[in-house]
Each structure stands twice: as structure tokens, then as C-alpha cells.
Amino acid sequence: MKQENLVIYVLSDSIGETGEQVAKAGISQFNIEDYEIRRFPFITEKSQIEEIMIEAKEEKAVIVFTMVVEDLRNLLIEAAGKANIPVIDIMTPIINSMGSAIGMSPRREPGLIRRLDEKYFKKVEAIEFAVKYDDGKDPRGLKKADIVLVGISRTSKTPLSMYLAHKNLKVANVPLVPEVNPPKELFEVNPKKIIGLTTNPLKLIEIRQERLKALGLKHEANYASMERILAEIDYAEKIMKKVNCPVIDVSCKAVEESASIILEIFKEIGYKFNNGVSKY
């Protein structure tokens, strides 16, 4: 037997996307070609429910809903029962089963999944930013960054940039090399969002020698010599003093520890991050 002219109302205290997708998935399992889905998002008042019930009864509609606010859910079920309208509660069975399984009570706040999605996309954006403006690739990113890291080679600039990106912060980093002048943009950004990274020369020799070994090069290369490293550190210190930024010694610190120190520095000086934009 074919069901013709089926009308499905999707009610939600958020945008109703979940309810609509579930309704479409359900209806696809039946031999119904002529149907209509109408979405009613952001239901927050009893009067809205009452008005929708009148229309639903006239159209002999089926109601699918994803109300997580308990008072509204109970109102809807009661009103639908009085009007003899079939209702399908999508969220409650899932929430109750999960609550029993994990031993927690639900928050019952509408729109949480959308907020989580927004957070995810901000993280992706921050990671893409860190990759794009890593190692001084494009100095134009310095003015867009929440945090700018500067330091000589092998002072954890890239790992720190990526770690902080996972906290939704846009980080650019600039290598300081004696033979290359820093980009002019470095001296144009707010110095309070710049962090200098330094390290112990002896520790740096070990790290650079391991790097050379991995590349199949000799340990005696200038890159890993004490004379070269001291020259680089001296040059970097002069640049850091010029921009007047805080300096962190990353010698014996894990990336997580260095990142925590950086965030604490910003907290102490009152530098705030607001949706990826740093400000005072």
C-alpha cells in the first residue's frame, strides 16, 4: 500500500538539522515518493508549539522532534497527545541510553553540537595557519597571528606552533639567522605578542648533531659547531632585545611545558585571545 502526500514536521530547540536528516533516512526505507519535510527550528516558547500543533493536525502531519530542553519536550508530547498527532522523539532514547552507559546526567542545552563543530573548524583553521606561516614562509602572516615565535634553528618553533594551533591559536614563527635580516613585519607587530625562544648551547649541539646524522652529513659541519651556535644565539638575543619580547629557554622542556609557559606569559600581561584574534 502506498502512502501519498505525507507531511513531516521537524521541530527543534536548535536548528533542526539532525531531525531532518533522521527523518529523511527513515522515510527512505519506505515506498513513499510524495512527501514533504518542514523544519521548525529554535522552538523556545509554548505558544510556538501550540500554533504548530494546529497546523500539524490540519495537515495530518507526523512530528519528528529533537527537543533536549525537558520542559519543551514534555509540552510538545502533551500537546501532540491531545491533538492525536503521532510524534517521534529522536534525542531522548539516545540521551537516556548514553547517560546510563556512562553514568552521567545530560546537560540538556540546545545547539551544543553546532558549537562543537565551530570549535573544530577554528582548530583546523589555526593548524592551516601554522603550516602556512611556518619558518618565516610568508611574513605577511605575522600581523594576522595571535602569537609570533622567534628563535634560531632547533628551538622547537614549529612543534610549539602546531601545539598551540590545537588550542585554536594562530601562530607564526620566524627563524633568526645571522646572514638574513628578519622581515620588517616583525618590527611592525605588537611586541607583546612575540615570544623569543632560546636554548643551552651544549644541548643544541647534541640536537643539531642528531639532525646531521639523520641527514647523512658529518658531525663536524659548521651547523653543529659551538662557534656557530654561540654566534647564532648572540644574534638572536640582539633581535629579541630590539623587539623587546619575553624569552623562554626551551633547553630541557617538553613542548607542552613551553606552551604552558607561553600562555601564562600572555595571561600575566593581560593579552587575551578572542575567537582567534588577540587584543588588549
For the record, the C-alpha cell of 103 comes out as 553514568
Eight-class DSSP state of 248: E
Nearest alpha-carbon partner for 109 in 135, 82, 89, 91: 91
Half-sphere CA count of 242, side-chain side, radius 13 A? 15
* Secondary structure element (H or E) that encloses residue 195, with its range: strand 194-198
Handedness of CA 69, 70, 75, 77 (dihedral sign): positive
How far apart (Å, rounded) are the C-alpha atoms in residues 254 and 81? Answer: 60
Residues with Cβ within 8 Å of residue 81, at least 6 apart in sequence:
none
Residues flagged as binding site: 151-158
Residues flagged as binding site for ADP: 151-158
Name residue 224's amino acid. A
Half-sphere CA count of 135, side-chain side, radius 13 A? 6
How far apart (Å, rounded) are the C-alpha atoms in residues 34 and 179? Answer: 73
Q: Say how many Å lie between the first and final Cα of the chain, rounded.
A: 67
Q: Are 208 and 224 in contact (CB under 8 A)?
A: yes
